[in-house]
Amino acid sequence: MGGYRAEDDYDYLFKVVLIGDSGVGKSNLLSRFTRNEFSLESKSTIGVEFATRSLTVDTKVIKAQIWDTAGQERYRAITSAYYRGAVGALLVYDVTRRSTFENVEKWLKELRDHTDQNIVIMLVGNKSDLRHLVAVTTEDAKSFAEQESLYFMETSALEDTNVDNAFSEVLTQIYHTVRRKAMENAEDGSATVPSKGENIDLGKEVSDVKKSGCCST
């Protein structure tokens, strides 16, 4: 039954990136999912930030390493090291700020330019608790997501609405993609099912992002 598993005891390690305009709530989505915390202090993330959380999908333990933009998005200077190895992304906009939704297209292009074509992308309309201020309708966002073959969810990091669902859905879809590719490769005789963490190489990426000097003033 269940049983305790050590922090480093997992079957798959998936890197997921958070992207979108500054101030849309990316850091609070991260802290809500990984630590169940929310801060009303609106401060930009400084430095390199990522957090991890494990969950179980089909009896397999998936460890998610979720990266936050570290304030780089304010300078439109996100480095390729940030995207490297990412197998999933949450593309976040603020439902109360139309401009953040209009910029989603640019973020999507940048993401697709820097990542594998099989990356799982979810469009996330955050701050859904501010219903009276909504500037982007669910229909508009849904329609864009369908057009671009993205998953879609509206969330509230403040009220903890759909945050777990958004991350869990992305991680489940990544797992299914990896399994499907592994089975196809096995049929070709070209590869076996990837072992623990083999599907991405995180290696020296944190130092790569730090060394890039993207966020220096």
Amino acid symbol at 174 = I
Q: What is the pLDDT of residue 44?
A: 54
Asked whether 158 and 127 are in contact (CB, 8 A), the reply is yes
Instruction: Give mean pLDDT in consecutive 10-residue pieces for the chain, a chain of 217 residues.
Output: 58 94 93 86 60 90 90 72 93 98 96 93 97 96 97 97 96 93 77 44 43 40
Asked whether 119 and 111 are in contact (CB, 8 A), the reply is yes
Query: Where are the extended beta strands (E) located within the chain?
Result: 12-19, 49-57, 60-68, 86-94, 120-126, 151-154
